[in-house]
Structure 1
Amino acid sequence: MYLSSLRELALGSRLKALSDHFYQAVDEVYRACGAGIESRWFPVLRFLRDVGPSTVTDVALAIGQTHSAVSQLADRLVDAGMVVRQRDPQDGRRSVLALTDAGERALGALGPVWLSIRRGMAESLGPRGAEMLDAIDACERALAERPVVPAILAKHAELVRENVRVVPYDPSLREHFLRLNRQWLERYFRIEDVDRAVLTDPEGMIVGAGGQVFFALYAGEVVGTCALIHEGEGVYELTKMAVDENYRGLGAGRKLLDAAIGEYRRLGGGTLFLESNSRLTRAVGMYGRAGFVMQEGARPGSHYERADVYMVYQGG
């Protein structure tokens, strides 16, 4: 599933989808068994039965929902005849929620249904069901000890102090060369045979042939890459420039470009060129600011079907 690939970033959405699934399943069971309640009523009704008359605030704290959500649910339960609002005998200025006789009777007949739900869930989910419940318990305890918002904001405060740094090719980073370039190639164009050859063998096609591959790192994450390919006789191609779409605005692209130009100069190159596409306006603009000059038409003998931009470096 798509959401599962987003991991923690989609945690709320994934849990919401699971919650909706279980709500719908239990509601279907309740209807099939002739029970007179809905799954979303269960926490409030069960709490009032087990604890007795309680304020909306007390119920909300106990079941982990907002005061507003419990108050709205209480209105529905009152309309359904399951709950009544009455004056708190200990403090006449406030009201409490209490089960009605109808509510008591409805819950009193649900023992077999609840047992079926427990056992049916266990059979359907298998061992993972028990693991999930244990994980939820642990998650609830962890969030009580350290709320998630301050934890995330603390990490963000650390990350905004981080800078992008560029490093040369290392075999441990090899997979990111393909991953990052595949991201933009498949979004805007397609992976051509020449791309595939270079992306799957950077050691042989680039580094071993007198060129270099660079990677942009941010807080330990590989967020960008580019390559400098030696075409022979002092001619180099700047290619395979890619920055993760989630990390734009950090200056990674320009730092990669500067690193490649610096390596070209260190190697004593005579010509540095690149091929691109006019659809990639941001990239073409960056190349121009770095000293690449637009040439008329496509490069003679171009490597790529998609290339309609040909630029040659004339910077200082």
Structure 2
Amino acid sequence: MDYMKSLATLSLGSRLKRLSDQLFAEVAIIYDQAGLKLNPNYFPLINLLNSVGPIGITQAADYLSISHPAVSKIADKMIKEGYLIKQPHPTDKRASLLSLTIKALHIIKQATPVWEALKQQLDYIENLQTHSLLTSIDQFESNLNNYNLAQAVANQLTRKNAKIELINWHPDYKNDFYKLNFNWLESEFYGDLTEKDKHALENPESYYLSHGGYIFFAKQEAKIVGCIAMKPEENGYMELSKMAVTPEMQGQGVGRKLILEAIAKARELAVSTIYLETNSKLKRALTLYQHIGFAHCNHPKGKSDYHRADVYMELKLYV
């Protein structure tokens, strides 16, 4: 068992470090077999200087998107091993330029066919992936750079202690209802909206409320952090749908509170059965439904009107 896999995103940094260590170890073996006396860690900087010519450490850090101290540390090692020299900057006396030595140019010539073969084999492994690893890394790096993770965690820890208030529908929260549901549909199903979805989200008053339905919201301080809708059907059935919770509040019990509020309202209305439709890949939601008492059942119509829904569940209130 690989325990780090069970930690999911919490082990992301550790797993990327593990993958990096494995790749560097493999490259070190390849270099040794090819007779290359080159530290694999030098590849980004030696390749950059070979491509753009002499540059300063600050420029190199910008090109490689790594810290100035990290580039400086690698450059110092490469200077000691004879791969780099520092030259005076032609216009700035306070700065210097990193330049490749004859030794470095010789090693690049020797390494080039090895790098080409290595790239072909890594491309082959990359093409075996269901989703491109390089594209995923690009997206994740971009998202992380545009997201203040440290501040978001601090804010969540602060919000965690703030009280969750459950409130009924109000027109002021119509946009929240739309955004909460559209965002999770965008995240999980690429924004796949059926005509029923559009009606429900754009006109919840006519879709739910005018038919005797209800919409509840979870509110924390001044922010809406979750929602759920219920719509009465024939024969004492009630549909539970459009449950959504903001990403930062997931796992905090908000969804459970919303479902229990809906169940309480259903009991008050003497509903016999609550049903819902979902997708089998939404593991966290499925676990929550099962813990509350929902059971998997055959779909009464044979299949759902929502092509993304492959799970039908019911909760019996009055038998």
Calculate the TM-score normalised by the size of structure 2.
0.51
What letter matches 2:300 in structure 1? R
What are the Cα deviations for residues 68-100 of structure 1, in whole angstroms up to 9, with x where unaligned?
A: 765666788998776xxxxxxxxxxxxxxxxxx
Preserved contact between residue 290 and residue 315 of structure 1 (Cα < 8 Å) = no
What are the Cα deviations for residues 121-158 of structure 1, in whole angstroms up to 9, with x where unaligned?
A: xxxxxxxxxxxxxxxxxxxxxxxxxxx99977764552
The structure-2 alpha-carbon separation of the partners of 1:154 and 1:284, relative to structure 1 and needing over 3 Å to count, comes to closer
Counterpart for residue 276 of structure 2? 274
Return the alpha-carbon distance in structure 1 between the equivalents of residues 179 and 275 of structure 2.
Answer: 24
Counterpart for residue 299 of structure 1? 300
Partner of 2:280, secondary structure, is coil
| Residues 1-316 of structure 1: pairs in structure 2 closer than 5 A | 38-40=55-57, 66=69, 103=88, 106-107=91-92, 155=155, 157-186=157-186, 187-188=188-189, 190-218=192-220, 220-231=222-233, 234-295=236-297, 297-300=298-301, 304-306=305-307, 307-315=309-317
Preserved contact between residue 81 and residue 103 of structure 1 (Cα < 8 Å) = no
Partner of 1:167, secondary structure, is strand
Preserved contact between residue 291 and residue 315 of structure 1 (Cα < 8 Å) = no
Counterpart for residue 134 of structure 1? none
The structure-2 alpha-carbon separation of the partners of 1:175 and 1:208, relative to structure 1 and needing over 3 Å to count, comes to same
Partner of 1:268, secondary structure, is coil
What letter matches 2:198 in structure 1? R
Partner of 2:295, secondary structure, is strand
Q: Which runs of 5+ in 2 are unaligned?
A: 1-47, 60-66, 96-147
Q: Which runs of 5+ in 1 are unaligned?
A: 1-26, 43-63, 83-101, 111-147
Partner of 1:213, secondary structure, is strand
What letter matches 2:177 in structure 1? F
Deviation at 1:261, TM superposition (A): 0.8
Return the alpha-carbon distance in structure 1 between the equivalents of residues 280 and 77 of structure 2.
Answer: 60
Return the alpha-carbon distance in structure 1 between the equivalents of residues 254 and 228 of structure 2.
Answer: 10
Preserved contact between residue 304 and residue 310 of structure 2 (Cα < 8 Å) = no
Partner of 1:305, secondary structure, is coil
The structure-2 alpha-carbon separation of the partners of 1:150 and 1:242, relative to structure 1 and needing over 3 Å to count, comes to closer
Return the alpha-carbon distance in structure 2 between the equivalents of residues 283 and 308 of structure 1.
Answer: 14
Q: Rg: which structure is higher?
A: 1
Return the alpha-carbon distance in structure 1 between the equivalents of residues 170 and 274 of structure 2.
Answer: 23
What letter matches 1:107 in structure 2? D
The structure-2 alpha-carbon separation of the partners of 1:286 and 1:76, relative to structure 1 and needing over 3 Å to count, comes to closer
What are the Cα deviations for residues 40-68 of structure 1, in whole angstroms up to 9, with x where unaligned?
A: 458xxxxxxxxxxxxxxxxxxxxx965x7
What letter matches 1:103 in structure 2? P
Preserved contact between residue 164 and residue 218 of structure 1 (Cα < 8 Å) = yes
Partner of 1:38, secondary structure, is coil
Partner of 1:262, secondary structure, is helix
What letter matches 2:160 in structure 1? V
Preserved contact between residue 180 and residue 242 of structure 1 (Cα < 8 Å) = yes
Preserved contact between residue 272 and residue 317 of structure 2 (Cα < 8 Å) = no
Return the alpha-carbon distance in structure 2 between the equivalents of residues 250 and 276 of structure 1.
Answer: 20
Preserved contact between residue 292 and residue 315 of structure 1 (Cα < 8 Å) = no
What letter matches 1:247 in structure 2? M
The structure-2 alpha-carbon separation of the partners of 1:167 and 1:39, relative to structure 1 and needing over 3 Å to count, comes to farther
What are the Cα deviations for residues 221-271 of structure 1, in whole angstroms up to 9, with x where unaligned?
A: 433221011235653211112223443211111111011111212333343
The structure-2 alpha-carbon separation of the partners of 1:106 and 1:194, relative to structure 1 and needing over 3 Å to count, comes to closer
Partner of 1:236, secondary structure, is strand
The structure-2 alpha-carbon separation of the partners of 1:105 and 1:292, relative to structure 1 and needing over 3 Å to count, comes to closer
Partner of 2:252, secondary structure, is coil
Return the alpha-carbon distance in structure 1 between the equivalents of residues 149 and 207 of structure 2.
Answer: 46
Partner of 1:258, secondary structure, is helix
* Number of residue-to-residue matches in the alignment: 208
Q: CA RMSD in A?
A: 4.2
Calculate the TM-score normalised by the size of structure 1.
0.51
